[in-house]
Amino acid sequence: MALYHSVLDLIGDTPLVDVSALSPNPGVRILAKLEGQNPGGSVKDRAAKAMMEEAEKEGRLVPGSVVLESSSGNTGIALAMICRIKGYRLTVVLPENVSTERRQLLEVWGADIVTSPGAEGSNGALRAAQELAAEHPDWLFPYQYGNPANPKAHYEGTGPEIWRDCPEVTHFVAGLGTAGTLMGVGRFLKERNPDVQLWAVEPPAGEMVDGLRNLDDGFVPPVFTDNDGPALLDRKMIVRARESIEWTRRLSDVGVFAGMSSGSAMAAAVKGAEQLDEGVMVVLAADGGWKYLSTGAWTADLDDVVDRATRLIYF
C-alpha cells in the first residue's frame, strides 16, 4: 500500500481474482475483475475520470462549471464523486426504476437529480438529458454513449491491466451498456492477441422497449459504432434476471460480493465454459453488491427478487 494524494488516484488497477471454483469445466479457468474496488464503487469511475480530465484539458471545464449526464446510476455516482472533489456542480438524469442506493449515493455527493420515467429506461434518460443540454449550452454534457474518452479509459487502463495480470486470457466477458468497457478492453486485447474472444452480455430489454414509440427512436451507442463494434464482438447474448441473480448469489459463495450485472456476465461465462474444451475467461464484475442490498438479491425468495429485478435497471 502506498500513500495517495487524492481519491482520484485510487481509480483503476483493480484486482483479478480466480473464481474457477464456480467453473463447470475443469479445463476452463474463470477470473473476475473486481471493479467494485474503485473508490466510487464501480467500473464507471474510469470513464467518468477520463471524460472529466479530457474536458479540463480542452478548457471546457472551469471552476464553477455545471456538468450534466444521463445515467442509470454508476456513471452519475462516479461523476458526482469527481465533481465534488473538483468543485463542479452536477445534474444527473436518472430513470426512476433504479435501486434506492444508486439515488442515495448521488445524494451523498450532492448531485442534482432529474428523474425520467421508468418505462422509458435509459433511452428516456438520455433523451431528457439531450433536451436539457440543448436548453443549457453552457453546461458540460460528457455524453458517455458517444465520448471517445469512455472507451479510451478501458483501452489505456482496464485492458492493459488484464493483459499484465493474465496474458493467457482467451475470453473477455462483460456487460454492454455504453459499450465503453467492451470496445476499449476488446480493442486492446485483440491488438495483443487477435484470437481473444469478446463476449457482450445484455439484460432483457423488457419494459424499456415497450416505451419506444417509434423504431427510429432506436439507439446504438456511437461508442459502439465508432469502434466498429459489430466486427469487434464475437458473441452477444441476453442473460435473464433469474440466471443473473442465481450467479450473483453463486459469486458470493466464493466471497465475491458483486452487483447483478456481474452475475449476468458470470452466467454467460459459465454457459460458454460448458461449450469449450479449455480456456481462461476474464469476467468483468462491474460493481459491488452494496447498491443492491435493498433488492433482497441474496436473501429474499428468488421468485420475488426475479420479479422485482425485471422492473429494475441494474446495468
Partner 1 sequence: MSVSVRLPTILRPQAGGLSEVSAEGGTVGEVVDDVVRQFPGTASHLKAADGGLHRFVNVYLNDEDVRYLAGLETPVPSGAQLSIVPAVAGGGG
Ligand X SMILES: Cc1ncc(COP(=O)(O)O)c(C=O)c1O
Give me the active site residues, please.
44, 261
Sites for partner 1 among residues 232-251 (CB under 8 A): 233-240
Part in contact with ligand X (CB under 6 A); list of ranges 15-23, 179-187, 229-237, 295-303: 179-187
Beta strands in 43-102 (DSSP E): 66-70, 89-95
Instruction: Name the residue type at position 192.
Output: R
- The verdict on 125 binding partner 1 (CB under 8 A) reads yes
Q: Number of residues interacting with ligand X: please give it, by CB under 6 A.
A: 16
Q: Report the candidate in 164, 183, 282, 251 with the shortest Cα–Cα distance to residue 223.
A: 183
Given candidates 181, 197, 227, 244, which one binds ligand X under the rule CB under 6 A? 181
The entry of ligand X, partner 1, none that residue 219 binds, CB within 5 to 8 Å by partner kind? partner 1
Part in contact with partner 1 (CB under 8 A); list of ranges 106-114, 116-124, 184-192, 297-305: 116-124
- The verdict on 109 binding ligand X (CB under 6 A) reads no
- The verdict on 287 binding ligand X (CB under 6 A) reads yes
Joined grid coordinates for residue 65: 462549471
The answer to whether the CB of 111 falls within 8 A of the CB of 21 is no
Whole-number Cα distances in Å, 211 to 172, 201, 204, 205: 32, 22, 14, 11
Angle (nearest 5°) at CA 303 between 298 and 308: 75
**At its nearest, how many Å lie between partner 1 and the CB of residue 246?**
15
Instruction: Name the residue type at position 221.
Output: P
The answer to whether the CB of 167 falls within 8 A of the CB of 138 is no
Given candidates 38, 74, 91, 248, which one binds partner 1 under the rule CB under 8 A? 74
Joined grid coordinates for residue 41: 464503487
- The verdict on 158 binding partner 1 (CB under 8 A) reads no
- The verdict on 170 binding partner 1 (CB under 8 A) reads no
- The verdict on 259 binding ligand X (CB under 6 A) reads yes
The answer to whether the CB of 240 falls within 8 A of the CB of 294 is no
Instruction: Give the footprint of ligand X on this chain (CB under 6 A).
Output: 42, 44, 74, 175-182, 259, 261, 286-287, 315
